């Protein structure tokens, strides 16, 4: 067994993972390129950080490059108590956020005292052919440690043939000290290309938090 083979084998764990000590500038010096990422890889397109922001809008990056776009919400903290994180879509680059939507929603919850749990359909938060902003995380608390985190996926927003499906999955710290998991889904009932998305609270500012936009690489 040669020295290169011995050196590599000494840096592979029993689980088959190359340890950090096995990767050095010398061992990768001859690599000139890496293969293209496979389908399903997340490509970070942009990041926005809220700071007492009335709205956060993504007006670039949503195009025909990818068939699927994912927004990731990290510690979204509202200025007001008991408000919802909402979103809407635009077909005119952000001049208007008023795409007609039909949606469905349900949630699970569990309180901190371990006395209460539920699984419920939420009729008050779904939409039926409405241009209103869609709530994706209702009743977030605004205590210093309260916030929400999760994802919103929009499928093939640039299609000029089909409507635009969306699915959100968000966990939030409810104003009444509950863990709530919200599942919202629906479609933007338009065959025009969606090219901008806006997020805002139902009342007051987005006090803090990060929203990242990813494209999902085609296979």
Local confidence pLDDT in tens for the 219 residues of the chain: 555 455 555 666 666 556 656 555 555 455 555 555 566 899 999 999 999 999 999 999 999 999 999 999 999 999 999 999 999 999 999 999 999 999 999 999 999 999 999 999 999 999 999 999 999 999 999 999 999 999 999 999 999 999 999 999 999 999 999 999 999 999 999 999 999 999 999 999 999 999 999 999 887
Q: Where are the domains of the chain?
A: 1-34, 39-216
Backbone φ, ψ for residue 193 (5° rounding)? -65, 130
The CATH architecture that domain 39-216 belongs to is Sandwich (2.60)
From CA 106, how far away is CA 181, in angstroms rounded? 9
């Amino acid at each position: 067994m040669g020295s290169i083979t011995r050196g590599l084998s000494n840096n592979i764990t029993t689980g088959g993972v190359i340890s950090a000590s096995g990767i050095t500038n010398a061992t990768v010096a001859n690599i000139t390129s890496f293969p293209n990422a496979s389908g399903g890889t997340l490509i970070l397109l942009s990041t926005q950080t809220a700071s007492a922001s009335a709205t956060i809008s993504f007006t670039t990056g949503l195009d025909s490059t990818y068939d699927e776009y994912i927004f990731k919400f990290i510690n979204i903290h509202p200025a007001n108590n008991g408000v919802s994180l909402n979103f809407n879509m635009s077909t005119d680059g952000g001049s208007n956020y008023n795409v007609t939507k039909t949606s469905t929603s349900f949630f699970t919850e569990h309180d901190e005292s371990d006395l209460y749990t539920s699984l419920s359909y939420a009729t008050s938060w779904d939409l039926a052919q409405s241009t209103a902003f869609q709530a994706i995380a209702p009743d977030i608390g605004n205590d210093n440690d309260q916030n929400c985190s999760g994802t919103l996926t929009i499928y093939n927003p640039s299609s000029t043939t089909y409507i635009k499906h969306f699915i959100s999955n968000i966990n939030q710290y409810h104003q009444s000290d509950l863990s709530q998991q919200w599942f919202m889904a629906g479609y933007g009932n338009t065959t025009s290309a969606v090219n901008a998305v806006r997020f805002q609270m139902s009342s007051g500012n987005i006090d803090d938090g990060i929203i990242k936009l990813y494209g999902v690489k085609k296979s």
